[in-house]
């Protein structure tokens, strides 16, 4: 049974009076320290200063308050004879509950104007130690305000499943303390030590293959409105592969939107579909019905079983286009997963019901607000055997007014420049090497993952032909420079009108001269600025 002595020590005082009052009403004795003690006493809550228990006031300018055997002995003791004897001999009260939140160390690190001294001063020592002692001692440990009411409800219910309940609070506290300490190590070492700590928010049935279990989506509590945990499942449970596809789709849509906004344009309606992690269909425009009609006909074979993301609400009429446009009578298109900013329909499940199963459907209202603000700037980590790789995120956005942008050959039209933005955004967020062809706001071909750039050019032509189209008149983006003229030659043979690529090859001049001679517009930005290699 929980010992009815509680120790409360919080940095943020919001709600602590109400929680302490609830504990007193349930028969608890409250101990507290300095600021928390004052807040409770001023509110009329019966409370004892922890200094009366330890016999020691806070010292070293409040650096040492609760770091005392009479506190930690009360949290770490077990129901065994030796421990009970020590508690009695030294007058140590058994503490059954500890509620702590930590100094805002990470906020201080992020604060403009923060100094090394100010950051170090915001490293909490007593708080993490209280949480760790309480967790090890099997006490009720509260490290987040959201758990306070949950604990009161549990007490009212008679403390059912006490071990499981307290253990869940304990491992949460261990995780919070681990993340807190990691932030300090990262800051003090200037990145020599790094990593991440997350907690499971959605379990997946399995990983990439059925035997790869367990698997799931973990959150690092960034507060990012575009974090995958913010996508609310309305129908079905996304798989691990669905989540990787959704992450790729976010990179694509955010870069399209950011490019439009950076170039002084309104962010259009956007719809993108990926298959096996790369775009197979993408359309932008100002009529959502047209966008969806063209999306499903970009590559009608590849979109079957694909994952789709759109930045606008879906009505029943729009959903009908997505599911049935150019399908045989009575048949629905198989969309594996769909994410939208919202759904304006009476019964989402009925609209997306299939004969044997249903499309997984998620919504996130933040998708309606894509722009420069939505670019993901968080550090990217990748597991490798024995450790992990770390690098900054891909945050470059193409600005057609960039002074580094060179133009050769005929001047592109306004429509072609808009297609450059779309082609660039798709190529830069697809698996390298990539050649992406776009025409009038619509993806014609995305030739990805090729070992040679000329082969990617050939593949783009093949994909276009396979869908009943060609590269004639298209705008093509390459995620890096052309090492030889063979790639541009293939594109010119196919009738490509505009090429966007980086520069940095020893053969740049030959590529530039070739495009001028063949009447192909060539736009180049140095590779060190704009290279789009992604997800090797």
In terms of domains, do 146 and 17 share one?
yes
Q: Would you state the structure tokens that stand for residue 77, as one six-digit string?
A: 């003791």
**Model pTM greater than 0.95?**
no
The counts of H helices and E strands in the chain are 19, 23
Both 367 and 265 in a single domain?
yes
- For residue 21, how many other CB atoms are within 10 A of its CB? 16
Higher-pLDDT residue of 358 and 310 is: 310
Least confident of 80-84, 274-278, 467-471: 80-84
Q: Which domain holds residue 410?
A: 398-530
Question: What SS3 string covers 101-142?
Answer: CCCCHHHHHHCCCCCHHHHHHCCCCHHHHHHHHHHHCCCEEE
Say if residue 337 is in the same domain as residue 408.
no
- Paired with 270 in beta bridges are 284
Both 348 and 465 in a single domain? no
Residue 210 falls within a domain, yes or no? no
Are residues 19 and 167 both part of a single domain? yes
Q: Are residues 75 and 154 in the same domain?
A: yes
pLDDT in tens, 116-172: 999 888 888 888 999 999 999 999 999 999 999 999 999 999 999 999 999 999 999
| Predicted pLDDT of residue 97 | 96
Residues 140 and 43 in one domain: yes
pLDDT one-digit tens code per residue, 216-234: 999 999 999 999 999 999 9
Distance CA 321, CA 332 (A): 10
Q: Give the separation between CA 520 and CA 88, rounded to whole angstroms.
A: 89
Q: What is the CA radius of gyration of the chain?
A: 29
Q: Which two tokens stand for residue 57?
A: 């006031």
Residue 51: which pLDDT band, with cuts at 50, 70 and 90?
A: confident
Task: Please report where in the chains the tokens 């906020």 appear, as a residue.
Answer: 107
Confidence check: pLDDT of 61 > 80: no
pLDDT of residue 420: 98
Relative to beta strand 406-408, strand 521-526 is antiparallel
**Same domain, yes or no: 158 and 264:** no
224 within domain boundaries? no
Let me know if residue 138 belongs to a domain: yes
Same domain? 79 vs 173: yes
Instruction: Clarify whether residues 103 and 155 are in a common domain.
Output: yes
Contact at 8 Å (CB) between 273 and 295? yes
How does pLDDT run across 394-434, given as a tens digit for each residue?
999 999 999 999 999 999 999 999 999 999 999 999 999 99
Verify that 14 and 149 share a domain, yes or no. yes
Question: How remote is the C-alpha of 210 from its chain's centroid?
Answer: 25
Per-residue pLDDT at 198 exceeds 90: yes
- CATH at residue 430: 3.40.140.20
When divided into structural domains, the chain yields a total of 3
The answer on 246 and 155 residing in a single domain is no
Q: What is the pLDDT of residues 89-98, one digit of tens each?
A: 888 899 999 9
- Could you tell me how many residues make up the chain? 536
Mean pLDDT of 91-119: 90
Helices (H), 59-98: 69-76, 81-90
């Amino acid at each position: 049974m929980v010992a009815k002595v509680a120790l409360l020590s919080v940095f943020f005082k919001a709600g602590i009076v109400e929680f302490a009052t609830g504990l007193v009403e349930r028969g608890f004795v409250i101990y507290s320290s300095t600021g928390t003690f004052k807040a409770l006493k001023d509110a009329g809550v019966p409370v004892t200063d922890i200094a009366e228990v330890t016999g020691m006031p806070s010292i070293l300018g409040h650096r040492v308050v609760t770091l005392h055997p009479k506190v930690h002995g009360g949290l770490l003791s077990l129901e065994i004879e030796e421990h009970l004897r020590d508690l009695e001999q030294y007058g140590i009260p058994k503490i059954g509950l500890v509620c702590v939140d930590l100094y805002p160390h990470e906020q201080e690190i992020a604060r403009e104007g923060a100094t090394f001294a100010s950051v170090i001063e915001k490293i909490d020592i007593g708080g993490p130690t209280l949480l760790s002692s309480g967790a090890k001692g099997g006490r009720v440990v509260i490290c987040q305000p959201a758990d306070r009411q949950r604990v009161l409800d549990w007490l009212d219910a008679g403390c059912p499943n006490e071990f499981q309940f307290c253990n869940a609070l304990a491992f949460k506290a261990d995780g919070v303390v681990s993340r807190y300490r990691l932030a300090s190590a990262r800051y003090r070492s200037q990145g020599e030590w790094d990593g991440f700590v997350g907690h499971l928010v959605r379990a997946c049935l399995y990983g990439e293959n059925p035997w790869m279990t367990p698997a799931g989506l973990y959150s690092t509590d960034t507060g990012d409105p575009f974090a995958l945990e913010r996508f609310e499942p309305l129908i079905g449970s996304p798989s691990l592969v669905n989540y990787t596809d959704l992450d790729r789709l976010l990179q694509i849509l955010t870069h399209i939107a950011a490019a439009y906004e950076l170039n002084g344009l309104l962010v259009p309606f956007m719809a993108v579909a990926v298959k096996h992690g790369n775009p197979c269909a993408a359309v932008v425009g100002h009529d959502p019905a047209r966008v969806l009609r063209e999306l499903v006909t970009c590559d009608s074979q590849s979109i079957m079983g694909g994952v789709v993301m759109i930045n606008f609400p879906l009505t029943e009429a729009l959903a009908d286009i997505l599911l049935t446009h150019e399908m045989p009578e009575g048949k629905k298109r198989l969309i594996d997963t769909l994410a939208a900013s919202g759904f304006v329909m009476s019964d989402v499940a009925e609209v997306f019901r299939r004969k044997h199963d249903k499309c997984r459907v998620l919504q996130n209202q933040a998708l309606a607000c894509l722009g420069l603000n939505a670019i993901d700037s968080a550090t990217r980590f990748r597991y490798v055997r024995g450790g992990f790789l770390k690098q900054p995120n891909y945050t470059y956005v193409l600005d057609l007014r960039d002074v580094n942008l060179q133009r050769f050959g005929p001047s592109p039209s306004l429509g072609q420049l808009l297609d450059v933005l779309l082609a660039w955004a798709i190529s830069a967020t697809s698996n390298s090497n990539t050649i992406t062809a776009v025409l009038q706001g619509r993806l014609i071909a995305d030739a990805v993952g090729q070992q040679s750039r000329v082969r990617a050019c050939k593949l783009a032509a093949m994909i276009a032909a396979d869908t009943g189209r060609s590269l004639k008149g298209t705008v093509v983006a390459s995620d890096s420079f052309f090492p030889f003229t063979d790639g541009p030659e293939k594109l010119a043979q196919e009738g490509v009108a505009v090429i966007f690529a980086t520069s940095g090859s020893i053969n740049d001049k030959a590529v530039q001269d070739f495009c001028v001679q063949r009447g192909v517009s060539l736009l180049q930005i140095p590779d060190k600025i704009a290279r789009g290699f992604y997800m090797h």
